[in-house]
């Protein structure tokens, strides 16, 4: 039991610290630097880049924080999208049209991935944080150009 407590105490200590360098990084939830955007998503989202640069070639990890009811219109990505739900419920549906009846809930702790160019849409139930990781550059291509916030 003492080993478990000691290990947990050590884990909590490291979680409270943010260690950053060229070859590693540790991000405690309260140390993450959130910013508005990204501009490719509808207004209301916040994001934080934890590793790499999603706009460039190479590995990246970023988090996206969205409020309850936040919707992402039908879109696809040119590369595999890998999503882990950190908190809240991220609901995702497949297809070219936003249809709430096709949403499948991904609760906290759920991991999912989507093939390149697979059209999908999403909506948050509760304040939700997801983690995206993959190989950049990360891109989002809307089915309808009218949904693209970069064109408004």
Q: What is the pLDDT of residues 57-81, one digit of tens each?
A: 999 999 999 999 999 999 999 999 9
Q: Is 2 exposed, middle or buried (0-12, 13-18, 19+ CB in 10 A)?
A: exposed
Question: What tokens were used for 65?
Answer: 């924080």
How far is Cα 20 from Cα 18, in angstroms, rounded to an integer? 6
Give me the number of domains the chain comprises: 2
Q: Please give the backbone phi and psi of residue 54, each rounded to the nearest 5 degrees, phi first.
A: -60, -20
Return the closest-CA partner of residue 91 out of 130, 35, 119: 130
Question: Residue 13's Cα: distance from chain center in Å?
Answer: 26
Q: Please give the backbone phi and psi of residue 38, each rounded to the nearest 5 degrees, phi first.
A: -75, 160
Same domain membership, residue 102 and residue 36: yes
Same domain membership, residue 102 and residue 72: yes
Whether the predicted model's global pTM rises above the 0.75 cut: yes
Same domain membership, residue 22 and residue 41: no
Same domain membership, residue 74 and residue 9: no
Same domain membership, residue 39 and residue 18: no
Contact by Cβ (8 Å): 102, 93: yes
**pLDDT over 90 for what percent of the chain?**
82
pLDDT of amino acid 10: 36
Same domain membership, residue 104 and residue 135: yes
Same domain membership, residue 103 and residue 50: yes
Q: Find the CATH number of the domain harbouring 97.
A: 2.60.120.10
Q: Which domain holds residue 72?
A: 32-151
Same domain membership, residue 67 and residue 2: no
pLDDT of amino acid 16: 35
Same domain membership, residue 60 and residue 11: no
At residue 143's C-alpha, the angle toward residues 92 and 129, to 5°, is 35
Same domain membership, residue 37 and residue 1: no
Contact by Cβ (8 Å): 91, 112: no
Same domain membership, residue 89 and residue 147: yes
Same domain membership, residue 70 and residue 4: no
At residue 28's C-alpha, the angle toward residues 26 and 82, to 5°, is 70
């Amino acid at each position: 039991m003492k080993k478990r407590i000691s290990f947990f105490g050590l884990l909590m200590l490291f979680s409270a610290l943010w260690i950053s360098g060229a070859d590693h990084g540790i991000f405690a939830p309260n140390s993450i630097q959130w910013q508005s955007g990204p501009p490719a998503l509808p207004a209301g989202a916040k994001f934080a880049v934890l590793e790499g640069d999603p706009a460039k070639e190479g590995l990246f990890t970023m988090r996206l924080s969205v409020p309850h009811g936040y919707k992402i219109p039908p879109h696809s990505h040119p590369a595999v999208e890998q999503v882990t739900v950190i908190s809240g419920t991220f609901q995702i549906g497949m297809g070219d049209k936003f249809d709430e009846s096709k949403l499948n809930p991904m609760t906290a702790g759920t991991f999912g991935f989507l093939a390149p160019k697979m059209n999908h849409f999403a909506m948050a139930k509760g304040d939700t944080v997801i983690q995206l990781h993959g190989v950049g550059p990360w891109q989002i291509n809307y089915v309808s150009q009218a949904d693209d916030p970069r064109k408004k």
